[in-house]
Structure 1
Amino acid sequence: MTDVNELLEIAIKETENLMHNERFLVKDLFKGYEWNRIPRNDRLLLGTLFLSYVNKTNGKIQAIEKTSSKQQKYKVML
């Protein structure tokens, strides 16, 4: 299985394919079967690391509201 840091790099790279004002969850950055193959604890850690990355970079991605299932939503800015 892929290391969590490698998964984070994949997720960050995948954000380059998103359009302005697009809203997404971290799991949206992976194909369904790929996301389901990541162990739950690694998915949770990946979510935490991605949020930390977004907060530290002040880049084109912004954390917005959470879903009813407590998943962090993001939005692509300029």
Structure 2
Amino acid sequence: MDCMKLAIQEVENLIQGESFLVKDLFKGYEWNRLTIGDRRSLGALFLHEVKYGELKERIEVGLKSSANQQQYIKK
């Protein structure tokens, strides 16, 4: 998924300790063009990468937001 590659690349632009949502890694119009299903799939893939993949050393899982969206923190 090209969106996943873009999200991983955008992580590099974050500051250590910065909290973010997956949608924060995209420009508003890019995120809005994704279908709801694609957004959910991307969210699940990103969480998997953070827990078990290449982002494990760079990102930690934070608390869920009030809108039940997973938050992350750059290490």
TM-score over 0.5 for the pair: yes
The CA RMSD over aligned residues, in Å, is: 0.7
Which consecutive aligned stretches of 4+ in structure 1 deviate over 2 angstroms post-superposition?
Answer: none
Equivalent residue, structure 2, for 1:56 = 52
Residue 68 of structure 1 deviates from its aligned partner by 1.2
Structure number with the higher helix fraction is 1
Q: Is 1:14 the counterpart of 2:10 in the alignment? A: yes
- The one-letter amino acid of 2:32's match is N
2:15 alignment partner, SS class: coil
Aligned positions of 1:36-55 closer than 5 A: 36-55=32-51
* Further displaced range: 51-60 or 22-31: 51-60
Equivalent residue, structure 2, for 1:72 = 70
TM-score scaled by length of structure 1: 0.90
| Paired residues, number | 73
TM-score scaled by length of structure 2: 0.94
Q: In structure 2, list runs of 5 or more residues that go unmatched.
A: none
